[in-house]
Amino acid sequence: MSSLPWIKTSKRLLEAVGLVNSIPDDDDMYREVLLQSVEGDFPEEYLKSLESSLKLSGDNVQILVQCIEYIMTKANQIIIKPSVLQKNLVEVLKFENEKAECFVKVWSEQAAKRFGDLGTRKKVDDVTWEIVLRSDELRGRFQLSLSDFLGADDERVTLDLSEAELTELYLKLEDCQNKLDSLR
């Protein structure tokens, strides 16, 4: 059984892909299930409608939904060209070509929404900070130098934080660091 660096393949996953492939090609139901998987919400009445529309048992609908959610989640955690993702879906996970193409279209649309136009986003160029400790309070001041990804529009932002806000910032940064460490 072939494997990919971004997803662990198993016999059960390949069987679940068989359920994906059983959805009729002319049916918009597959695209709808993909979009629903991005939302991560499958209400009970929606699952019941899938059962009757696709003529699958409740267990098979659950397997189908879990399969699509799993693959979409894993695909969202990597940086990959859409053409390579489609090739992986077809050659390794055994998606039918039409199903893989639809999956990649939905995945690409969602990635575009998540990342947007990088030219309108800002990046941090420099951070200066100081901590002020007085007998009755702890405060922090951070000054950020921001620019867009094209290197223009320098902007300075100053944050004055209380002790509680500093603690919250520290915990969030620590959480980010732990997530980065777990990727190694």
Sequence spans of domains, the chain: 11-115, 119-183
Structure pTM? Answer: 0.63
Packing angle of the helix pair 29-39, 44-54 (nearest 10 deg):
160
Q: In what order do the strands lie in the sheet with 155-161?
A: 122-133, 138-148, 155-161
pLDDT of 150: 64
List, in order, residues 6 or more apart from 110 with CB less than 8 Å away: 38, 76
DSSP state of 120: G
pLDDT of 151: 62
Looking from the CA of 118 toward its CB, the CA atoms found within 13 Å total: 6
Spatial distance between the Cα atoms of 97 and 129, rounded to a whole number of angstroms? 53
pLDDT of 62: 93
pLDDT of 57: 92
pLDDT of 27: 65
| Of 130, 115, 122, 178, residue with least CA distance to 148 | 122
Residues of the chain with pLDDT under 50: none
pLDDT of 14: 93
Packing angle of the helix pair 58-76, 11-21 (nearest 10 deg):
110
How open is the CA angle 54-98-8, to the nearest 5 degrees?
85
Residue 166, SS3?
helix
CATH, domain 119-183, list 2.60.40, 3.40.50, 2.30.31, 2.20.28? 2.30.31
